[in-house]
Structure 1
Amino acid sequence: MKRNIVIATLTAAALATGGTVAAFASGNDEATATQRQADTSAQAATDRDDDATEDRTAVRGADVTAAEAIAAALKHAPGTAVSADLEDDGADAWKVSVVKGDGTEYDVRIAPDSGKALGAQRDTDDDHDADDRAELAAVKGAKTDAHEAALAAAHKGTVSEVGIDDDRGTVAWTADTVRDGKHSEWKVALGTGKVTQDRDYD
């Protein structure tokens, strides 16, 4: 009887502090089950902490949203925004690609904490194929631009990237989001701004 009382006391103390307790008395299945339950609870708490960390690191330091970064980039370099993404998942800056009226493309870097333009660099890669030109033409005539696509996708989570994509002849905006540690990809229709899920990934 005394042995059972001691084990029960140790078990209650361990559960109250979030720890585990070992079953010191052999053959006590109840104490062993209690240990496994405490271990499982502790592991679940660790998993939740890991998810929260992943959620933060996906957009770390990015007080400025994708939509705000696009607006700031267009103010600094007027034109048509075709993409925006956090360099190294937010470690450095937002990079917004803007195509000017003469067809030249610039990468505008936006500070993720203040929204200040850090500079613009011309994209000297002239290797734009017919698909790239078709995507740009579709974007210029669309009712939904990059800024609006980012705003629409933000209802699904924190947007870390938005860009234009041609999927089997259908041009649409794509956006990557993160919410509660879960990463998702969405399509945003050029004409209506309707958001549909593309895929989830861990």
Structure 2
Amino acid sequence: MRITVFGATGGIGGHVVRQALDAGHKVTAVVRTSSTFEVEHPSLDVVRVPGLDAEEPLREAMDGSTAVISAVGARGRKDGPVASSSTRSILAAMKASGVRRFVAVSAAPLGPVPPDESFLNRRVVYPMINAFAADVYADLRLMEAEIMSSGLDWRIVRPPKLNNKRLTGHYRTFVGGTVPKGYLVSRADVAHLMLAVIDDPATVGQPVGVAY
């Protein structure tokens, strides 16, 4: 299949591009004009756009695609509402192009706290995380609301704290909820799951928790 990847220069998006190519897919990587992107492959097309805040420039990247994966998100608390504004444009371009399958990355704190989660996490850790990154999570909530009301065949992957360790392909998932006592997962494994759910009918219209 052909997969269009947004956020291809980021940690998760870069893994999505490379893993998709390794799996034999054709990939269109959407990158900003000002960004450095050095991946080369016979099955890779690179579309450069000035930004992700307008629908029309994104349509070219959707041509012939089966699915769209977005790893777009703020890299820090000062980046502003990156995820919601970009996703709004991506969704509009998908509708105009007739592409229905969409996978986006969000964050575990947006999901429900598992009932068997530890007292420390429920009462101390999670509230501290939400307070520390309040603006980032507010942006992600807006993004998720846009996706859930889009009418597309969407999936939202919600990882906890990320690291840069290697791909394992072994992790826990929770369709419709949050992985209990799940504290870490690598960016490579998040990318692996994002590719895996594209063809999984059980995940359509669902958030999917992931963690080790």
| TM-score interval, smaller chain | under 0.3
Q: Is the radius of gyration larger for structure 1 or structure 2? A: 1
TM-score for both structures, normalised by structure 1: 0.22
Higher relative contact order (CA 8 A, sep 6+): 2
Higher strand share: 1
